[in-house]
Amino acid sequence: MSLPLILLLALLLDAIFGEPLLLWDRITHPAVLFGKLIGFADKRANHGENRKLKGAVVFGGLCLGAIAAGLVLSALPFGWLIELLCAAILIAQKSLTEHVSAVANALRLSNVNARVSVARIVGRDTTDMDDSQISRAAIESAAENLSDGVIAPVFWFLLFGLPGIFLYKITNTADSMIGYRTPRHADFGWAAARFDDLLNYLPARITALLILVVCGNMHALKAVRIDAPKHRSPNAGWPEAAMAQCLNIALSGPRSYDGELRDFPYVNPTGNHSIGPDEIDATVRVLWKTWGATIGLCAVLALF
């Protein structure tokens, strides 16, 4: 069975079942397993001198292990079925839309409920957020995770099958755990952070293009190219800028981390600043439209 056809079925499987808790309460999710391996490596190797070198060697070993695991599983009898199930598990479309929709639903009840809900999907301080700040945080998370959680895994699976998606996922997990510029991880996580930037370079820009296409807003591409570099991430700014243009809203801007206010510039600053649950719902619709376009592309590739 071809990789595009496997991927098409995996996208459908994820959209139907998502991440059933009954399953993951009984067995370890692959992403959780990746996280445990990275956490173990962090505890054992992240100390003393030459932390950047140690981090690079450890991360390189994890990547080689992920590739090897993908090759072995793919070569097993019914390898295509293993590839299908693994791809469905590692693509996060349904869970993404559920988490983002939960913020909109909570915001319709109260600001307090919404702050609790959005805190589950963002790393910034949420204690003093108003409704617009909550909505921006949810929409930014949706745009960034559409790239990281859906389009990038799809991209690397299409190119290299199970080894490709395993490599991407362990890199992305490592970046989220040790890729921060903190005293503990600035050196040890350097290799993981830089490699994550590299692996997300094309998927982030493809995500932005898909968002503009499904919204019929390709004329905003020039504005996206201007706004995307304003983001502190070399990649996340692309899907966020595209989403901001399609919804005519301002994203990013000042926010607080660990009690410290950071004055980040707005993306699409002339867009609407006063936003709420309706804009979050509109974002979720864009997520599903982009998923539909991805399904269509996989179908075309499977045919040819």
Name the least confident of 2-6, 229-233, 256-260.
256-260
136-179 pLDDT, tens per residue? 999 999 999 999 999 999 999 999 999 999 999 999 999 999 98
113-129 pLDDT, tens per residue? 999 999 998 888 888 89
Q: How many Cα atoms are found within 13 Å in the side-chain-facing hemisphere of 191?
A: 16
Quickly state the pLDDT bin for 264 (edges 50, 70, 90): confident
Question: Which pLDDT score is estimated for 28?
Answer: 72
* Angle at which helices 152-178 and 277-303 cross, to 10°: 130
203-244 pLDDT, tens per residue? 999 999 999 999 999 999 999 999 999 888 899 999 999 999
| DSSP code string of the chain | --HHHHHHHHHHHHHHH---HHHHTTS--HHHHHHHHHHHHHHHHSSSS-HHHHHHHHHHHHHHHHHHHHHHHHHSTTHHHHHHHHHHHH--HHHHHHHHHHHHHHHHH-HHHHHHHHTTT--S--TT--HHHHHHHHHHHHHHHHIIIIIHHHHHHHHHHHHHHHHHHHHHHHHHHH-S-STTTTTTTHHHHHHHHHHHHHHHHHHHHHHHHHTT-GGGHHHHHHHGGGSSSTTTHHHHHHHHHHHTB-EE--EEETTEEE-PPEESTTSB----HHHHHHHHHHHHHHHHHHHHHHHHHHH-
Task: Name the residue ranges covered by the structural domains of the chain.
Answer: 3-303
Tokens for 244, please give them: 């901001």
> How distant, in Å, are the alpha carbons of 107, 192, 252, 254, 289 from that of 206?
31, 22, 20, 27, 14
Q: How many Cα atoms are found within 13 Å in the side-chain-facing hemisphere of 53?
A: 3
22 has pLDDT over 70: no
Quickly state the pLDDT bin for 275 (edges 50, 70, 90): very high
